[in-house]
Amino acid sequence: MEFNDAFILGCSAIGAGLAMIAGIGAGVGQGYAAGKAAEAVGRQPEAKGTIMSTMLVGAAVAETTGIYGLVIAFILLFVQPFTK
């Protein structure tokens, strides 16, 4: 393995680690959504169905950020177009 190949692999690993930082945002967003939904259900228990469905859609949107980061990390780790 040449120096260039090792350098590319190292940079790919660092990039994958940085891409996984996106998981922090997804976790914070989902926690915030769940907390606000719990508050809303506490205030208006009769609207629980509407609140829960809205929260689930919001959590799904927040989770896509983490999934995109994971996909990018996998691409950086396992697809290496610059190596021989």
Rounded to two decimals, what is the model's pTM? Answer: 0.74
pLDDT at position 49 is 93
pLDDT at position 63 is 87
Cβ-contact 70, 23 below 8 angstroms: yes
pLDDT at position 1 is 61
Mean pLDDT of residues grouped by 10 in the chain (84 residues)? 80 90 87 92 94 90 89 87 64
pLDDT at position 84 is 60
Domains of the chain: residue spans and CATH: 12-78 (1.20.20.10)
Question: Angle at CA 18, nearest 5°, toward 14 and 21?
Answer: 150
Locate all alpha helices (DSSP H) within the chain, ordered by sequence: 3-19, 22-43, 48-78
d(CA 75, CA 54): 32
Cβ-contact 67, 30 below 8 angstroms: no
